[in-house]
């Protein structure tokens, strides 16, 4: 039974539904980041009883990423099969479970803190798919998806600034700071999830242009993979590298900014991400003008390639003293997100519609994410054990290598979809 608010929104029209849904989804995912990212601004140099070869901070970052990656693996089934009416309750339950993990991180002995951070990350990986489930399959999904992605560009910096301020300005102990930050944001998260649950489903015109979305069980997932397997593999390879680069830049922002001379400026975490959001949102919003779903998929491939070029060009310009350190980090972030964001929203949504197979966008997103976070863990282990480079030198080389791999794999995937998949009569290109 629909609520009065849902019926009123349905009568208000497609644009007002989009504005309402984007507001609720943005706030929900923004607040989720308060449970995921603040712990990374801690240095944990005072952890005295840690005697292992891997640095404590690297260990807890890896532990959370492993939990998050395992969550993505679980989400391939759980999120793609989730009934729409259960999504809001699942979001609240998963976030509360994460908060318990953050509290345990503060109170447990050092060795068990790693387990606590793993448990905190374990439920959070499923939030994205549950939130995006309210937005996909609409004529406005590009705007909605891009707006939702802006939340994790902006929120990562904001919640880290809040966490840093709690320790620097308010004296909150470093180990309690992650739980305190999450608790501050939970009331707003609960309100935004309730708002999201009132969003009207896609209307008849949405379903005609983007396909009706439905839970995706084993047979549907198998058919999706069989239809575009090689292209998916190439896209996932690019995403593994993008995720590793994005996570390294995000999780070790403190170390990178300190190396660049901005170590005592907490606001830098937020200020450096805002120009990226301003650049990304209009660009992805304009892609909504492409009504042909197959053409849209190819366009997003081109954006991924352009992002790779921007990463390499900005790094070269910084080394040649043509860019300041601040604008280099901003430009690299813009290049990363130019490639990263399509995977998390619009590419999966348009690919689902273009292939014309029953299902939803969650399956491909979670296949990519599971692999991507595995690459992130491997990269951090390489930094700890394999290469004795400074944070900044390691990141510089990582930018060049990542740009090359992403550019090549995305170009090959683009050719595959253009020549082998979308030339067949089965693709839905309305």
Most confident of 143-152, 246-255, 324-333: 324-333
pLDDT at 148: 82
Rounded (10°) angle between helices 218-251 and 346-355: 160
- What the block records as the tokens of 292 is 């042909």
Percent share of the chain, pLDDT over 70? 92
Query: What angle, rounded to 10 degrees, do the helices at 325-344 and 362-381 form?
Result: 140
List, for residues 198-244, the tens digit of each pLDDT value.
999 888 887 777 666 667 777 878 887 787 788 889 999 999 999 88
Token pair of 323, please? 């860019």
Q: How many CB atoms neighbour CB 293 within 10 A?
A: 23
pLDDT at 428 over 50: no
State the DSSP code for 382. Answer: I
Chain-centre distance of CA 35, in angstroms? 14
Q: What is the pLDDT of residue 426?
A: 44
What's the 3-state SS for 31-50? HHHHHHCHHHHCCCCCCCCC
Least confident stretch, 41-50, 221-230, 357-366: 357-366
Would you state the pLDDT for residue 1? 56
Give the whole-angstrom CA distance, residue 55 versus residue 203: 52
Q: How far apart are CA 148 and CA 160, in angstroms?
A: 19
The pLDDT value given to residue 127: 93
Q: What is the pLDDT of residue 210?
A: 67
Q: Are 106 and 175 in contact (CB under 8 A)?
A: yes
Q: Do the Cβ atoms of 314 and 335 come closer than 8 Å?
A: yes
- Residues in the chain, how many? 430
Helices 218-251 and 325-344: crossing angle in degrees, nearest 10, is: 170
Which of 79, 48, 388 has the alpha carbon at shortest distance from 215?
79
- Give residue-wise pLDDT tens across range 284-317: 767 778 888 888 889 999 999 999 999 999 999 9
Tell me what pLDDT residue 52 has: 81
pLDDT above 60: residue 28: yes
CA–CA separation, 362 and 415 (whole Å): 24
Which of the residue ranges 83-87, 108-112, 252-256 would you say has the lowest mean pLDDT?
252-256
Q: What is the pLDDT of residue 355?
A: 78
Q: What's CA 390's distance to the chain center, in Å?
A: 27
Letter string b/e over residues 232-261, b meaning 16 or more CB atoms within 10 A of that residue's CB: bbbbbbbbbbbbbbbbbbbbbbbbbbebbe
Q: What is the 3-state secondary structure (H, E, C) of 275-344?
A: HHHHHHHHHHHHHHHCCCHHHHHHHHHHHHHHHHHHHHHHHHHHHCCCCCHHHHHHHHHHHHHHHHHHHH
Taking every pair of Cα atoms in the chain, the longest distance, rounded to a whole number of angstroms, is 64
- The pair of three-digit structure tokens given for residue 164, joined into one six-digit string: 């840093």
Q: Is the pLDDT reported for residue 425 higher than 60?
A: no
- Predicted local distance difference test score (pLDDT) of residue 45: 80
Cα separation of 312 and 302, whole Å? 16
Q: What is the per-residue DSSP string for 188-239?
A: HHHHHHHHHHTPPPP-HHHHHHH-------HHHHHHHHHHHHHHHHHHHHHH
User: What pLDDT band is residue 153 in, cutting at 50, 70 and 90?
Assistant: confident
Chain segment 384-418, per-residue pLDDT in tens: 776 677 888 889 999 999 999 999 999 999 999 88
């Amino acid at each position: 039974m629909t609520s009065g608010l849902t019926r009123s929104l349905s009568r208000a029209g497609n644009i007002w539904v989009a504005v309402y849904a984007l507001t609720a989804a943005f706030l929900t995912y923004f607040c989720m980041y308060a449970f995921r990212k603040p712990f990374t601004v801690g240095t944990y140099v005072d952890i005295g009883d840690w005697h292992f070869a891997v640095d404590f901070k690297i260990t807890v970052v890896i532990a959370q990423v492993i939990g998050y990656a395992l969550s993505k693996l679980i989400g391939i089934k759980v999120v793609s099969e989730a009934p729409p009416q259960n999504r809001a309750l699942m979001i609240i339950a998963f976030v509360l479970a994460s908060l318990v993990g953050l509290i345990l991180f503060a109170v447990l002995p050092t060795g068990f803190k790693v387990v606590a951070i793993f448990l905190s990350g374990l439920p959070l990986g499923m939030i994205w798919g549950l939130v995006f489930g309210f937005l996909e399959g609409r004529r406005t999904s590009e705007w909605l998806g891009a707006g939702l992605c802006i939340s994790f560009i902006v929120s990562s910096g904001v919640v880290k600034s809040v966490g840093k301020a709690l320790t620097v300005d308010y004296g909150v102990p470093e180990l309690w700071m992650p739980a305190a930050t999450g608790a501050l944001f939970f009331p707003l998260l609960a309100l935004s999830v309730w708002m999201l649950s009132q969003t009207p489903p896609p209307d008849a015109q949405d379903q005609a242009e983007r396909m009706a979305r439905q839970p995706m069980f084993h047979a549907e997932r198998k058919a999706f993979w069989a239809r575009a397997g090689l292209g998916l593999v190439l896209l996932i390879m690019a995403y593994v590298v993008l995720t590793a680069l994005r996570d390294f830049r995000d999780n070790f922002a403190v170390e990178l900014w300190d190396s660049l001379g901005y170590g005592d400026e907490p606001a830098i975490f937020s200020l450096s991400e805002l120009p990226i959001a301003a650049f990304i949102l209009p660009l992805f919003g304009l892609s909504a003008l492409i009504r042909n779903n197959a053409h849209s998929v190819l366009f997003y491939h081109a954006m991924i390639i352009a992002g790779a070029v921007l990463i390499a060009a900005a790094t070269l310009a910084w080394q040649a003293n043509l860019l300041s350190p601040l604008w280099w980090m901003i430009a690299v972030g813009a290049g990363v997100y130019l490639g990263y964001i399509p995977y998390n929203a619009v590419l999966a949504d348009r690919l689902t519609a273009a292939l014309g197979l029953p299902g939803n966008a969650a399956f491909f997103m979670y296949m990519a994410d599971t692999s991507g976070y595995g690459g992130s863990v491997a990269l951090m282990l390489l930094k700890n054990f394999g290469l004795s480079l400074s944070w900044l030198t390691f990141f510089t080389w990582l930018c060049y290598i990542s740009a090359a791999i992403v550019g090549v794999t995305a170009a090959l995937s683009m050719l595959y979809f253009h020549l082998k998949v979308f030339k067949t009569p089965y693709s839905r290109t309305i």
